[in-house]
Amino acid sequence: MTLYGKMAARNIKNNYRFFVPRVLTEAGLLACFYIIYTLAKDSRMRTLKGGAYLPSFMGIGVIVIGLLSVILLLYTNSFLMKQRRREFGLYNVLGMEKRHVAKVLFRESAASSLMGVALGLLLGMLFYKLCSLLICRLLGVSSILGFYYISPGTVLPAALGFLLTDLLIYLLNCVTLARMKPVELFASAHTGEKEPKVRWLMLLIGVVCLGLGYYFAVSNRSPLEALLLFFAAVILVVIGTYFLFVTGTTFVLQRLKHKESYYYHKKHMTAVSGLLYRMKQNAVGLASICILATGVLVMVSTTVSLYAGTEETLANNYPQEMYLSASYVTPEGETRLVPSDVLTQMIQDAARSNGVDIQEITRQQYLEVPYAFENGVCITDRALGSVTNVANFDFITADTYRDLTGQALNLKENEIALCMISVANASVFRGDAITIGGTEYRVAENLALFPLNTALVTAFDRYGVVVADKNVLSAIDRNQREAYGKNCSELTDKLCVKFVDRAAACEAGSGISREIYDSFLTYLHAQPEMQEDAPLRFRFLSDTLWEATEDIYGMYGSFLFLGILLGLVCLFATALIIYYKQISEGYEDRQRYQIMEKIGMSQQEVKGSIKSQVLLVFFLPLAVAGVHVCFAFPMLTKLLRMLLLSKISLFVLCTAITFLAFLLVYVVIYSLTARTYYKIVH
């Protein structure tokens, strides 16, 4: 082994307290990256029931974890370089040139990088099997045998990406060493921070950014507006958090320093004065902890609540198990519906051959039309993609309402009965008249329930409207056809099937759907007008509980897995920042506390000072993260509504449990790192 190699090995051994977390950090990040990247590339995962969402969701995870990995590796490196600048300066003073120091640094970096990459790949390969089983569990499918997957197409890109990142960090370190003078390197570890001043402009910008972010989050907006403003609100809150931690904490500490009753106490003086002189450095770390903690709380609580509410979402949106509508276009261009009795017979035959019993088949006829809805007026002269105040209206006749409910409504030609089916926007129409197609209809009755199951929860308000008769419905239909042209809505005529045994119907669902579709094609070919050589043009709409179950479990399961993994990465990053912060401050405070003990402070008083410092500042990020989540709650509920979560109380419960669990982990992390801090100081 060369001289440089021996020096690098000795340095790693002597500084194990710094290098071990660095290796574990890279290994943990690479393992997570490898798992996500492999799940995105493993073609077998797409064959799973509900696995269609995995490639896109895992692709997002690859980007997010990749960015987090670069940031955390840069943070880890900056800490190591700061702690060892005095050592590098000593090498220069003793006669080593900077290029020689760079050679030692290269061997140290190469050794730690190779150890981190090797350990990360090993952990990733070991835990990929467990993660694939977890994915199967979340999707509600049996695990596939042979979920062993090691491919050069996943191993090499993951390893190469992290090795290139380490090489870039090494080059940055060389540039840093080259630009600093030996005396600066030798003295930099003892260079203290001047007492920071309150930067009023930064404080103002921080307050404005945080205020705007909070305003966007709590203002009454539709889910689409919330989605458009979500990332803007996140960026504003992140900027506001960093600025307020950097200068806002300085402002608070200076106020505490001027408060004699608080400051002139042996427990508080050392903590406040020490933090005040290093607040610029501490504030960035504390703000990072706050942002990461907020990310953990939001990602875990939202994904868990979505997955936990899956069954209720399906039950609320699928009171019947199957909804069918079939029509075809003749060679002359005429659209014809399949007669309901013919379609009913197809359903009954398919159910009988698959061994399930039908409880009830009902017919729903309605017209669903989206409008720009303002002040009780349904507007059709605007592009719906450019407005956010869109509402969906489901129109049925009084006869249809009577057939479905058994209740009669006596409506005149200019009267309607109105029902608020689902609320997406904060403002709900409560007027006494609605204008549709230039005609004003008086709201004669407000209905508590609407007898249709037309769609899942959407991003828009949904109203159910009962009109007097078919003539009124035809007039509304003609108006929307003239206004929307080829984008107009079609009159829906569908059968709703409710089975005796819901679970048995889902098990036999694929066979039922396939048999009905085959029967429909047979019927289509048997029609006299379809015997010509013209290509078949038809519409077969099938919305079933079993297909929705597969789809929603696939989406929510993939989302939950990604949320858990990203939450763990953020939690890991939080622990890493806390650990390095405690070590860094421990070495900086060791001499100061030794002096305090020499002038009369007992060990208990030193511990009390440490405890005061922890309680004063280190739990501040968690408190601010809780405030962030509270302000983000209205916006998050709107976004979750777009993802079909119908029970907001479940989100509240999951958020509370997530916060308590994170608080427990947070306390454990601080307890362990505080011990390390005290050992260094003592």
pLDDT in tens, 602-626: 666 666 666 666 666 678 888 899 9
β-bridge mates for residue 446, sequence order = 418
Contact (CB, 8 A) for 172 and 79: no
User: Which residue did the predictor score with more confidence, 233 or 610?
Assistant: 233
Among 52, 210, 57, 31, residue whose Cα is nearest residue 129 = 31
Among 374, 392, 308, residue whose Cα is nearest residue 652 = 308
First to last CA, the chain: 37
Mean pLDDT score, 173-195: 64
* Cα–Cα distance for residue pair 314/309, rounded to 1 Å: 9
* Cα–Cα distance for residue pair 113/9, rounded to 1 Å: 13
pLDDT in tens, 440-457: 999 999 888 888 765 555
pLDDT in tens, 94-105: 667 777 778 888
pLDDT at 428 over 70: no
Mean pLDDT score, 100-125: 87
* Cα–Cα distance for residue pair 302/292, rounded to 1 Å: 15
pLDDT in tens, 287-330: 888 888 898 899 889 989 988 888 888 887 788 899 998 888 87
Query: Taking the model in full, what pTM does it have?
Result: 0.74
Contact (CB, 8 A) for 400 and 509: no
DSSP run (H or E) holding 604: helix 603-613
SS3 for 328-344, per residue?
EECCCCCEEECCHHHHH
pLDDT in tens, 405-427: 888 888 988 899 998 887 665 55
Least confident piece of the model among 225-239, 246-260, 348-362, 391-405: 246-260
Indicate the DSSP class of residue 643. T
Indicate the DSSP class of residue 449. -
State the residue for tokens 């007898």: 451
pLDDT in tens, 131-166: 877 877 777 766 654 445 677 788 888 899 999 999
Residues 6+ apart with CB under 8 A from 380: 371, 372, 437, 479, 480, 483, 484
- DSSP character string of 262-331: HHSSHHHHHHHHHHHHTHHHHHHHHHHHHHHHHHHHHHHHHHHHHHHTHHHHHHHH-SSSEEEEEEEE-T
* Cα–Cα distance for residue pair 433/417, rounded to 1 Å: 10
Contact (CB, 8 A) for 1 and 9: yes
* Cα–Cα distance for residue pair 233/406, rounded to 1 Å: 49
pLDDT at 434 over 60: yes
Helices 279-308 & 545-598, crossing angle to 10 degrees?
A: 150
Beta strands in 455-512 (DSSP E): 461-467, 491-499
pLDDT at 499 over 90: yes
Predicted pLDDT at 657: 92
User: Which residue did the predictor score with more confidence, 386 or 215?
Assistant: 215
Q: Measured in whole angstroms, how far is the alpha carbon of residue 569 from the centre of its chain? A: 14
Predicted pLDDT at 145: 47
